[in-house]
Structure 1
């Protein structure tokens, strides 16, 4: 005798119920680690540029503005592609998109190690971002569909925490790589240590991708595509991997059938004759309902807040190594950040280019960036304990308000420790608030639009990073105080908008 779901059709099972019967095991644990490795490479592709622009500045002879373009290149690729990849993953599968995205981006990052032209470097880095967009689009859907409903939010939360791990991984590995003074010369090409940072960044994703090759496609996705037999085979794989025995033995039946899922959304790849414009027009039509009443106005406000948070937090974080490096080289502990940044940079003419490039980054730059990464990890833990007792909206308002105060203090604080604390709060608090805003967006729009809403907001957030990195590249040195004021005023706007948004305090 089986459960009530099987009264008329004894061998038809709900997928989530089968997962419950199999139990949490190696499939879920290893997939969580794989998602973490893919997340590290995806985020490192962006964050490592903040170190690379300093280490390569003599070889590429880059200006401040060109550094901004270098830092924005991969983010631009992710911004342009993630939303489209999200739709494609609903058509061809999460696993295919993940594997294409990670292996293509790894191959491009490897090529990037040997590029000697800064503009070719930026173009290939843009392609890295476009490939990485596939990872960003499909990862959480794939991870969640191997977990039962009550485990999904926890799995995604732990996967997201790998963003904080990356904030430690990037400066720590860069410090290790750049602490050695060596070079390999092949003809006119000189391979310097900073190029190895690209390999260290792609390595976690390569390992994760190789492990992912052994995994099947998401059974939930296969059911939505009416590929019932493939879905059963995938479930059998999970059963054997977790429990070491066939699914039939666990369910005490000779043959199983899976309940069909709601079909995936409109197939954007079909009926478009391979035409990119046709695909884009279908995506645009599917996006329009996000801006309709009754949720349209609030959704626009949410986008404004997400843009501002990414602009201020991630934009500043990418320039943080450059700011710290300039400040630590100033040798003056009684100057504010902007007094140091506004001072002209004098390049000695009597030392070789190689020495100039390999002796650029101070240990304080790495240490301060590792501290920010550790602060993110601690911040995630503390935030989780505050959300329920204080309420989501209250935590959001408090976090943005403290970040605004930190931004104001950065105009006046001269003490190095005080500057580091202010920067940590300025980068950390809006960054942590992004995850709370995503939860608020999910509440504000109907169920069938939630995935599109989150993808759209995250894409607009990355547009904020692109705007911030390029703005700082042009304005930071000549108009430092004005630049910081723009970032702080952006957060003030976010604070006002959040105050008026109908965000529920309880999750």
Structure 2
């Protein structure tokens, strides 16, 4: 297929896209897009994390068991697991902006509907659809953000965008505390609207604002160039220049006519090689990830990331429930599992009505974990280069494993909070380092698929952990903690085997 610029006169200069971005300079386009990506990230993560509060606040209304709570927390994550990898391929075909807008607005609508659902199984099904919709945001946001930045700024932009995950870990408990601190209800016929339902609206609100702001933006010029849509790419770049500099691109370049260089399409994305079914296309493109020489280490790396998600996020999802059950205990010497067993005994012997009260300590401790993540990301960035990525990974996982073991024996509340913070925080921070290591393990043309595949498997770890803890935490608390600790120890062994370069 002949590029449109090949037929233009020789006097028309062809510009490289990244060089054009450098000429335009970093400005309002990039700053606003960073805020938009942060808002979309908050909604994406809050839809998952807010369930850890909602399962407690809704337990009397839904008459939910501990196993039911595990399913409620896993439903949205299951949707992400099923859809993210597929959304990534769709975004390469129809455009990142379209996928982002469809994903965020569809999830907003579904979350709004979820506010009025009264049946727990209907709630889980719609929440699964929320996860599938959010998968589009998760799959396209970082690629879209990076393609509006020069190579010099891409890593920094993605790093700041990722930090909004930590902001969400603070946003969720703080906003939930504000909403649930007042005891009110609104009756609409037989339906009663209680405060916990408002949490879902607060979760969708950042994404709604981000989606509306995104409507102003064009499709990624870099993607348009890879699809040979030169004219559309020129229009998009002209928009960036006008928004950043307040003048036309022709004036900036001081020329009457210009053209953008097309980018070569990959074999798997060319129209002549698209298989009839998208799933077959995905399968064929994924198989090379398991070829030699990187296949063995790629499998090990995925198992390590699965374990990190299992231990960190699985425990983080159940942390509000654990703290809320423990907050009523006056004994400062009992371990977490001893307090949970005492709580269960009291609940079985109690003749009082169901209670969905959430203590202020639950919100405070969860906000502290969020602040710890924010601080942890900052500290980790300063340690990686001088100490080496593998050393930082090994140290983080060993300390987290040791913290998990100590939870079997420590009873002091402050010490327990610190141990939980370390246990949740350190494997969570290690995930980002592991993803960077996986990128180095595989060839360039496989890196996007490698990260998407790894993140999907990680979310499978969250699903496994939330359901395991839902079934086992109360009757077999020590066993549940031991399983999580053993999986973290396996992660230490796997990371030791993987050939990770010392610096980024």
Scaled by the length of structure 2, what TM-score is found? Answer: 0.96
**Conservation of the 8 A alpha-carbon contact between 1:38 and 1:204:** yes
Measure, in 2, the Cα distance between the counterparts of 1:386 and 1:15. Answer: 34
Q: Secondary structure at 1:130's aligned position in 2?
A: helix
Residues 145-184 of structure 1 aligned to structure 2 (within 5 Å)? 145-184=147-186
**Conservation of the 8 A alpha-carbon contact between 1:224 and 1:260:** yes
Give per-residue Cα distances to partners, 1:306-358, cap 9 Å, x unaligned: 0000000000000000000001022322210001112325175455x6xx33x
Q: 1:272 Cα deviation (Å)? A: 7.5
Residues 170-209 of structure 1 aligned to structure 2 (within 5 Å)? 170-209=172-211
Give per-residue Cα distances to partners, 1:430-475, cap 9 Å, x unaligned: 0000000011000000000000000000000000000000000000
Q: Secondary structure at 1:216's aligned position in 2?
A: coil
Give yes or no for the alignment of 1:504 onto 2:483. no
Measure, in 2, the Cα distance between the counterparts of 1:88 and 1:266. Answer: 13
Inter-CA distance 350–467: structure 2 relative to 1 (3 Å threshold): closer
Aligned to 2:51: 49
Q: 1:266 Cα deviation (Å)? A: 2.8
Higher mean C-alpha displacement, 328-337 vs 74-83 = 328-337
Measure, in 2, the Cα distance between the counterparts of 1:76 and 1:489. Answer: 24
Give per-residue Cα distances to partners, 1:475-501, cap 9 Å, x unaligned: 000000000000000010000110111
Q: Secondary structure at 2:347's aligned position in 1?
A: coil
Inter-CA distance 271–293: structure 2 relative to 1 (3 Å threshold): closer
Aligned to 1:286: 285
Give yes or no for the alignment of 1:224 onto 2:223. no
Q: Secondary structure at 2:187's aligned position in 1?
A: strand
Q: 1:407 aligns with which of 404, 409, 412?
A: 404
Aligned to 2:24: 22
Q: 1:10 Cα deviation (Å)? A: 4.5
What is the aligned residue count? 494
Measure, in 2, the Cα distance between the counterparts of 1:204 and 1:497. Answer: 38
Aligned to 1:4: none
Aligned to 1:235: 237
Give per-residue Cα distances to partners, 1:70-118, cap 9 Å, x unaligned: 0000000000000000000000000000000000000000000000000
Inter-CA distance 325–270: structure 2 relative to 1 (3 Å threshold): farther
Give yes or no for the alignment of 1:425 onto 2:422. yes
Give yes or no for the alignment of 1:441 onto 2:443. no
Q: 1:212 aligns with which of 214, 221, 242?
A: 214
Inter-CA distance 100–428: structure 2 relative to 1 (3 Å threshold): same
Give per-residue Cα distances to partners, 1:263-320, cap 9 Å, x unaligned: 15534999889x7xx2112111110000000000000000000000000000000000
Residues 73-472 of structure 1 aligned to structure 2 (within 5 Å)? 73-264=75-266, 266-267=268-269, 278-343=277-342, 344=344, 345-346=346-347, 348-351=350-353, 356-357=355-356, 360-472=357-469
**Conservation of the 8 A alpha-carbon contact between 1:40 and 1:165:** yes
Structure 1 gap segments, 5+ residues each: 1-6
Measure, in 1, the Cα distance between the counterparts of 2:386 and 2:321. Answer: 38
Give yes or no for the alignment of 1:39 onto 2:38. no
**Conservation of the 8 A alpha-carbon contact between 2:12 and 2:259:** no
**Conservation of the 8 A alpha-carbon contact between 2:36 and 2:210:** yes
Measure, in 2, the Cα distance between the counterparts of 1:505 and 1:491. Answer: 21
Q: 2:471 aligns with which of 460, 471, 474?
A: 474
Give per-residue Cα distances to partners, 1:237-281, cap 9 Å, x unaligned: 0000000000001101111110001215534999889x7xx2112
Q: Secondary structure at 2:192's aligned position in 1?
A: strand
Give per-residue Cα distances to partners, 1:163-199, cap 9 Å, x unaligned: 0000000000000000011100011100000000000
Root mean square deviation of aligned Cα:
1.6
Q: Secondary structure at 1:342's aligned position in 2?
A: helix
Q: 1:403 Cα deviation (Å)? A: 0.2
Measure, in 1, the Cα distance between the counterparts of 2:410 and 2:16. Answer: 60
**Conservation of the 8 A alpha-carbon contact between 2:267 and 2:273:** no
Inter-CA distance 304–268: structure 2 relative to 1 (3 Å threshold): farther
Q: Secondary structure at 2:64's aligned position in 1?
A: coil
Give per-residue Cα distances to partners, 1:21-48, cap 9 Å, x unaligned: 0000000000000000000000000000
Measure, in 2, the Cα distance between the counterparts of 1:269 and 1:350. Answer: 66
Q: Secondary structure at 2:503's aligned position in 1?
A: coil
Inter-CA distance 269–177: structure 2 relative to 1 (3 Å threshold): farther
Measure, in 2, the Cα distance between the counterparts of 1:144 and 1:120. Answer: 37
Give yes or no for the alignment of 1:491 onto 2:492. no
**Conservation of the 8 A alpha-carbon contact between 1:268 and 1:282:** no
Q: Secondary structure at 1:282's aligned position in 2?
A: helix
